[in-house]
Chain A
Amino acid sequence: MLQERTRIAAAHTPIDPTSVVGWGVDANPKNDPTYPYRDRSKDEGLTSNWQRPAQQRSDVEILQSIEHIRRPAVFGTSTPPSGLSGMIRRLAFRWSESNWIHWLLLMGADRINVVEGIGQDLARAQVPNIPAEMGAKAEWQHNKKGLATKIAVTVGIGLVAYALFSRKRSDGPPQRVVKLSSGEG
């Protein structure tokens, strides 16, 4: 057991570079593919102890990547998480940015948020003008043919869906008929 612990501790111990034979003999500062967009002379090593900006204070709920070791000094306070989409977003932040599920949950929340947005509009007695929000005026001005095609396709799909729905209902089993006997009258 002690031997095992010693082996693991040794595996996790950083190597002293100067103990490695030949350390640095081929180092070449000119071999820098990040030039000119990164000034390596200002690289003080992997430390987070830079002089930090003052921390922004806010009561707004901010979700934070688990890859951060601390809250960044400044952040946006737009549209905090809310409703069902907010619950999904909170869940998403249990996983790192490296995990696909994090992003898939956020994308799912985005779609639910669209429906919530329509609900919020209606709750404010504001009926969203969806064709106008999608730029129908520009489409009418610059692409009448495209607009006509879109309307025709939408109406066509609607009619087919209506026809299928109506047929399904008329083809369904007959509704139960309850005959009342004279004694029940």
Chain B
Amino acid sequence: MLAMDYRGPYRVRAQEKPMPKIEHPRDAIVKVTRSCICGSDLHLYHGMVPDTRVGTTFGHEFCGIVEEVGSAVENLKVGDHVLVPFNIACGQCHFCKQGLYGNCHENNPQATAVGGIFGYSHTAGGFDGGQAQYVRVPYADFGPHLIPDWMDPDDAVLLTDVVPTGYQAAEMGGIQKGDTVLVFGAGPVGLLAARSAWLFGAGRVIVVDHLDYRLEFARTYCPAEVYNFKELDDVVVFMKKTTDGLGVDVAIDAVGGDAQGNFLQTLFGTKLKLEAGNAIALHWAINSVKKGGIVSIVGVYGPTGNMVPVGNIVNKGLTLRANQAAVKRHLPKLIEHVKEGRLNPKGIITHKVPLEDIADAYHMFSAKLDGCIKPVLVPNG
């Protein structure tokens, strides 16, 4: 079968690989119909995530048709079209029982802090991902969700990560009616976080980024007030001034370790990799939120450490909330939102690419070429 093949930082290709096999009674093999490149795949692509081995296949946002099931899988049958949450979850452990499906304890020998994720390095379990024609899906009797007949696969594939992550970012913000919500990052997750903020009753939604084409997209898609931080002397001072000197009620970091905008953070976090990525978006979020406010983090950082103003968290009495999205918990509500037209996931797709052109798709997404916001692969097109 054809699959994405990681060769090193900034180097990927499409390569023939052996077909995946059932390795556990609760496994399934899924023939991939859609697979996205996620912003967090770029952290892998840029060589920022430890234990990313050459030869790995990335891809944690995918949907597809069940090709084969293990002996213990009774709720799925061959031919079912399913969307597969990006986090692998057993449904039985201490954490899954409490709904923390992004924090399952039965899927990742290499780390305890990180739950197993498809195609996201050995730090996240060493599973091959869905940027391939076929993929092994562990715990297939728990994670995958049948795609309703009326749903477009382009919408379905975005319900595997982007939409639930954006939605949970807003949910973790504890947004109350009338709150001012600031979202750092106008990438796919930031767009969905800003859109979801309205669903929770926000009174004002602001999106900050440095790419004008993405800000223009956010202005109409979310919709939101948008600002390019490169045009502001100091983004934190600006946020204080625009909130009567107090700061925003809720700040969301939808950027993570690939941020731009600060020389020292770029040097230590991105270039020298002495930090777990550039944390300037989180730094700004902490400093832009009002005293007693809430900072919600869904941006992805590595497992080491970052320079952020911890003293300000204490002195301002902030609440920090963060997690990998518990996709399974959100799906029933999000499917309803799509059905009712409250969310339009596929509206963010800008490029559809055959698997053969994966190297160009990664480069285009990474270098922000051709107005790229969300590239989707069609592996069995």
Measured CA separation A39–B362 after assembly (Å):
38
Cβ–Cβ contact A72 & B97, under 8 A? no
A177 within 8 A of B: no
Measured CA separation A44–B8 after assembly (Å):
43
Cβ–Cβ contact A78 & B97, under 8 A? no
Of B25, B302, B369, most buried by chain A (CB within 10 Å of CB) is: B369
Specify which of B11, B26, B54, B116 is in contact with A130 (CB 8 Å cutoff): B11
A100 within 8 A of B: yes
Which stretch in B103-111, B215-223, B252-260, B285-293 binds the other chain? Answer: B103-111
By beta carbon, the residue of chain A nearest B90 is: A53
Cβ–Cβ contact B109 & A72, under 8 A? yes
Measured CA separation A89–B108 after assembly (Å):
16
Contacts of A100 in B (CB 8 A): 304-305
Cβ–Cβ contact B116 & A117, under 8 A? no
Specify which of B7, B94, B126 is in contact with A62 (CB 8 Å cutoff): B126
Measured CA separation A33–B317 after assembly (Å):
14
Given the known A-B contacts A56-B23, A106-B51, are A142 and B98 also in contact in the complex, defined by CB atoms under 8 Å? no
B240 within 8 A of A: no
- Distance in angstroms from A36 CB to nearest chain B CB is 7
**Chain B contact residues: over half helix, strand or loop, or mixed?**
loop
- Distance in angstroms from A129 CB to nearest chain B CB is 8
Measured CA separation A63–B364 after assembly (Å):
34
A134 within 8 A of B: yes
Which stretch in B144-152, B318-326, B340-348 binds the other chain? Answer: B318-326
Given the known A-B contacts A42-B99, A77-B126, A103-B304, are A53 and B363 also in contact in the complex, defined by CB atoms under 8 Å? no
Given the known A-B contacts A103-B302, A134-B363, are A79 and B92 also in contact in the complex, defined by CB atoms under 8 Å? no
Cβ–Cβ contact B24 & A76, under 8 A? no
Contacts of A135 in B (CB 8 A): 359-364, 366-367
Of A42, A48, A135, most buried by chain B (CB within 10 Å of CB) is: A135
Which stretch in A10-18, A20-28, A108-116, A165-173 binds the other chain? Answer: A108-116
* Interface residues of B, Cβ cutoff 8 Å to A: 7-13, 23-26, 47, 50-57, 72, 88, 90, 92-94, 97-100, 105-113, 116, 122-123, 125-128, 138-139, 168, 171-172, 273, 302-305, 319, 321, 323, 326, 329, 357, 359-364, 366-367, 369-370
Closest 4 CB pairs of A and B: A135-B363, A76-B126, A76-B127, A114-B8
- Jot down 29 A-B pairs with beta carbons below 8 A, ordered by A: A36-B171, A40-B98, A48-B94, A53-B90, A53-B139, A56-B24, A63-B110, A68-B109, A72-B107, A76-B125, A76-B126, A79-B126, A81-B53, A97-B113, A103-B302, A113-B8, A114-B8, A117-B8, A117-B54, A133-B359, A135-B361, A135-B362, A137-B359, A138-B363, A141-B370, A142-B369, A142-B370, A143-B367, A143-B369
